[in-house]
Structure 1
Amino acid sequence: MDIEAILAEVTSGNIVILLLAALVVLMVLLGVRIVPQSEKYVVERFGRLRSVLGPGINIIVPFLDRVRHKISILERQLPNAKQDAITTDNVLVQVETSVFYRITEPEKTVYRIRDVDGAIATTVAGIVRAQIGKMELDEVQSNRSQLITQIKENVEDAVDDWGIEVTRAEILDVNLDQATRDAMLQQLNAERGRRAQVTEAEGERRAVELAADAQLYAAEQEAKARRISADAEAYATEVVARAIKENGIEAAQYQVALKQVEALVKVGEGAGKQTVLLPTNVLDAFGDAFQMLKGGK
């Protein structure tokens, strides 16, 4: 056998082996897909959806299957958007919103919607206008959390067919035109003035009530003092009456004489020089009193 023929045979055999090895390598490269954790791959076969590859190592059929779309499943934020809306009390407001979402079903997102961000932004704008159109301005200002919840729920329902999950919706600001701001400021100042007048009137009313309570308390105390004095006089009268009943008229005469003596003593206790006028029968009164005292002993 010719040496050249042998070398040619060996060379052709090596070429076949190399070609087979290259084909195997190519098959591996085309058939094995390593998907990152933050992505999902959409695989097509002859232009139709074949499968969705999740994170990790995946096997596809080389030359038949093709990775057509690589979709990030990380949470995304739409650019802040401003929408004009009119409340039920005909106030024009400008609402600034922000929406966060993520793609959960890439096969729906790829084949059902082209511009995801634009579609969501348009949906949010329409929902914001519709919800604010059902509320008055005061409700928009005070029930912002409720409004955010309603917007998020409505957006979720609208984008559900697109394989999208709305994770959060926020109302960043509610702006008013200058004319409305001026009107609200005037209303606020008027309300503050009204509250000040009400507070002043309540203070005056409270002062009158306290003065009346003080007068009532003074009258009650005076009445109580009079009642005590009357009770004391009644008791003294009762004692005198009992003494007259038990001891006769002499006891009454004794009490009268004793009172006269006490009155004269008080008159004599005055400061300075004074003239004391005594009744003509004062000596007789003293004598009667001493006689009664002596007789009582």
Structure 2
Amino acid sequence: MTEEQLIALVSQNAIYLLGAVFVIVLVLAGVKIVPQSEKYVIQRLGRLHSVLGPGINFIVPLLDKAAHKISILERQLPTASQDAITRDNVLVQVDTSVFYRITEPEKTVYRIRDVDAAIKTTVAGIVRAEIGKMDLDEVQSNRSQLISTIKSLVEDAVDDWGIEVTRAEILDVNLDQATRQAMLQQLNAERARRAQVTEAEGAKRSVELNADAELYAAEQTAKARRIQADAEAYATQVVARAISEHGIEAAQYQVALKQVEALNTLGEGSGSQTILVPANALEAFGDAFRMLKGNK
């Protein structure tokens, strides 16, 4: 083999080798392996062609280009503070934070330039508008409802950007020093009022209990007197019945019995005693003894 033939063979083999390398390069350029956390936006001759999802994908080399590689992981915007005025004219500073993720990369790429700044501005406007509809007390007590409203409104506003808002948080609502001082004075006044009300209610309850006790005592005294009166009435009825049945002798018997009992009581006294008894009383005692003896 002559030198010229050898050169021609080498040149031919080099061309084949370059062709093979070119084909391999084209094949490798047409294969796109997309990570699980990303999506690729493919342009063909400068226009949107397709969006590649995670895994192995194929494109047309030289015509198609992965112009944008978009992360689909959830993102958190930096904490933002914005001033807002409540319906009762109180200036507050609201700290907010928003979490979102990109669901349609083609919209995010071709419809908005700086998505983070756009979301931040949208959230600030919505927060100011919603807080302006509420009093300060409502902002403090209905924070969860306010967060839900803000999240819903932000989702509607960023829907054209291919974004899903996953969470919206109000981290803090700060007040100026003068407002805080006024609220503290109001809180102290409210506590003092509640203490006075509690004390007054205690005094009222004490009076009510004392009145109930006195009423109960009066009721018991009246009940005892009524029982005593009933007993005396019953005794009177018994005596009247005895007089009705046995005549005057029964009455004389009762009187004589009482006189004897009184005499016994006087005789049981301690020490030397002198008892003066009228003459007619002796006759009465004699009658009583005879009646007692007769009854026995």
TM-score bin (small chain): over 0.9
Identity level (%): 78
Number of the residue aligned with 1:103: 102
SS in structure 1 at match of 2:97: strand
**One-letter identity of the residue aligned with 2:183:** M
**One-letter identity of the residue aligned with 2:54:** P
Residue 27 of structure 1 and its aligned partner are, at CA, apart by 1.2
Number of the residue aligned with 2:264: 265
- 1:167-209: per-residue Cα shift (whole Å, max 9, x none)? 1111111111111111111111111111111111111111111
Q: 1:174 and 1:225 mapped to 2: Cα distance?
A: 70
2:123 is aligned with 1:136: no
Number of the residue aligned with 2:289: 290
Number of the residue aligned with 1:4: 3
1:20-99 to structure 2, matched below 5 A, reads: 20-99=19-98
Q: 2:245 and 2:281 mapped to 1: Cα distance?
A: 27
Number of the residue aligned with 2:152: 153
**One-letter identity of the residue aligned with 2:91:** L
- 1:42-62: per-residue Cα shift (whole Å, max 9, x none)? 000111110001011000110
Over 3 Å counting, the alpha-carbon distance change for 1:245 and 1:161 in structure 2 is same
Over 3 Å counting, the alpha-carbon distance change for 1:31 and 1:222 in structure 2 is same
Number of the residue aligned with 1:195: 194
**One-letter identity of the residue aligned with 1:95:** V
**One-letter identity of the residue aligned with 2:90:** V
Structure 1 unaligned runs (5+)? none
SS in structure 2 at match of 1:147: helix
Which segment drifts farther, 72-81 or 234-243? Answer: 234-243
Q: 1:275 and 1:182 mapped to 2: Cα distance?
A: 93
2:245 is aligned with 1:227: no
Residue 274 of structure 1 and its aligned partner are, at CA, apart by 5.7
Q: 2:273 and 2:168 mapped to 1: Cα distance?
A: 103
Over 3 Å counting, the alpha-carbon distance change for 1:115 and 1:238 in structure 2 is same
SS in structure 2 at match of 1:88: coil
2:124 is aligned with 1:125: yes
Q: 1:171 and 1:46 mapped to 2: Cα distance?
A: 45
**One-letter identity of the residue aligned with 1:230:** A
1:195-214 to structure 2, matched below 5 A, reads: 195-214=194-213
- 1:89-140: per-residue Cα shift (whole Å, max 9, x none)? 1111111111111111100000010111100000000000000000000000
Q: 2:241 and 2:235 mapped to 1: Cα distance?
A: 10
Over 3 Å counting, the alpha-carbon distance change for 1:104 and 1:275 in structure 2 is farther
Residue 63 of structure 1 and its aligned partner are, at CA, apart by 0.4
Q: 1:270 and 1:148 mapped to 2: Cα distance?
A: 98
Over 3 Å counting, the alpha-carbon distance change for 1:274 and 1:142 in structure 2 is farther
Q: 1:9 and 1:271 mapped to 2: Cα distance?
A: 169
Residue 295 of structure 1 and its aligned partner are, at CA, apart by 2.1
Residue 276 of structure 1 and its aligned partner are, at CA, apart by 4.6
**One-letter identity of the residue aligned with 1:225:** A
Q: 1:256 and 1:120 mapped to 2: Cα distance?
A: 114
Residue 263 of structure 1 and its aligned partner are, at CA, apart by 3.2
SS in structure 1 at match of 2:73: coil
Q: 1:146 and 1:30 mapped to 2: Cα distance?
A: 52
SS in structure 2 at match of 1:204: helix
Q: 1:280 and 1:112 mapped to 2: Cα distance?
A: 138
Number of the residue aligned with 2:173: 174
Q: 1:165 and 1:266 mapped to 2: Cα distance?
A: 110
Q: 1:68 and 1:156 mapped to 2: Cα distance?
A: 27
Q: 1:62 and 1:53 mapped to 2: Cα distance?
A: 15
Over 3 Å counting, the alpha-carbon distance change for 1:176 and 1:277 in structure 2 is farther
Coordinate RMSD, CA, aligned: 1.7
Residue 238 of structure 1 and its aligned partner are, at CA, apart by 1.3
Over 3 Å counting, the alpha-carbon distance change for 1:233 and 1:101 in structure 2 is same
Residue 296 of structure 1 and its aligned partner are, at CA, apart by 2.1
Over 3 Å counting, the alpha-carbon distance change for 1:277 and 1:100 in structure 2 is farther
- 1:206-257: per-residue Cα shift (whole Å, max 9, x none)? 1111111111011001000001101110111111112122222211211122
Residue 5 of structure 1 and its aligned partner are, at CA, apart by 4.5
Number of the residue aligned with 1:281: 280
